[in-house]
Structure 1
């Protein structure tokens, strides 16, 4: 069972380092349950992916995540089911201080929002991580900053 263990932050600003790899992501949700389970579609560059995430019932930062590659026709047939639950962002991925950092720069109605995520191999690694100052406030587990909420409700009023 593949687990996603991550911590998420809200930087005030971001300047991509020269080593960062940029990916354009279009993301839409087919289903979102009250317990946080989600079924989503993603177009990342030339890839099309169907993903399912669900909470494990433990730590807020730990979820089961399963993804499957889709063909163009499958993706195109499913994409209309995401109407009203979509977002667009550019993701910058780079290594720093021994971890891989993903910074999402949101577009459209979410323009101005930045998030930084780090995924870990264990809960102990996640708990031991000391974020750099530029990461800003931690938003791990904050419902208003989950992508599914951003896609359906927009920016939190914070």
Structure 2
């Protein structure tokens, strides 16, 4: 089960580039249900996600590079590219902010996601002051939806 909240970010911390990060490229074979292929650095993953906004089932399967290249060529919509910075949440050792800084088509878009162990933890989370609008329940900033925008 994936439980996460998502926020728009317009003013990230000045030092965000000093945190560890990954380069991500991903495309969608289907958006209903969500079936995604992703390259994260040198790893390749096929992901299925059930319906939902705050909480949903998620299954990941490893791919090799050849399988990824074959599947990414079959995706619908645009391929998303971004850098994901991993920023620890202050005063909460087990939570990490995943700050996605988009490149390419969505250059300039920044989204912060935080995954939680329970719905209670997600609902009681107080975001850092640099987080913008909570867009979790709108669905408009789900990556699968962004990939399908004209």
| Same fold by TM-score greater than 0.5 | yes
Q: Following TM superposition, where does structure 1 have runs of at least 4 consecutive aligned residues deviating by more than 2 angstroms?
A: none
Measure the CA separation in 1 of the matches of 2:26 and 2:138.
19
Count the aligned residue pairs.
145
Q: Which residue of 1 aligns with 2:127?
A: 131
Q: Which residue of 2 aligns with 1:9?
A: 7
1:61 aligns with 2:54: yes
Q: Is the 8 A contact 2:112 2:131 kept in 1?
A: yes
Q: Which residue of 1 aligns with 2:81?
A: 88
Measure the CA separation in 1 of the matches of 2:27 and 2:108.
19
How far does residue 41 in structure 1 lie from its aligned partner after superposition? 0.3
* Unmatched 5+ stretches in structure 2: none
Specify whether residues 17 and 109 from structure 1 end up closer, same or farther in structure 2 by C-alpha distance, changes over 3 A only. Answer: closer
- DSSP 3-state at the match of 1:9: strand
Q: Which residue of 1 aligns with 2:107?
A: 111
- DSSP 3-state at the match of 1:76: helix
1:50 aligns with 2:43: no
- DSSP 3-state at the match of 1:81: coil
Measure the CA separation in 1 of the matches of 2:7 and 2:89.
15
Deviations 1:33-79 (A, max 9, x none): 1xxx20000000000000000126xxx30010000110111112211
Measure the CA separation in 1 of the matches of 2:17 and 2:36.
29
Q: Which residue of 2 aligns with 1:28?
A: 27
Measure the CA separation in 2 of the matches of 1:133 and 1:30.
36
Q: Is the 8 A contact 1:86 1:152 kept in 2?
A: no
How far does residue 17 in structure 1 lie from its aligned partner after superposition? 5.8
How far does residue 105 in structure 1 lie from its aligned partner after superposition? 0.3
TM-score (norm 2): 0.91
- DSSP 3-state at the match of 1:137: coil
More helix by share: 1
Measure the CA separation in 2 of the matches of 1:137 and 1:151.
21
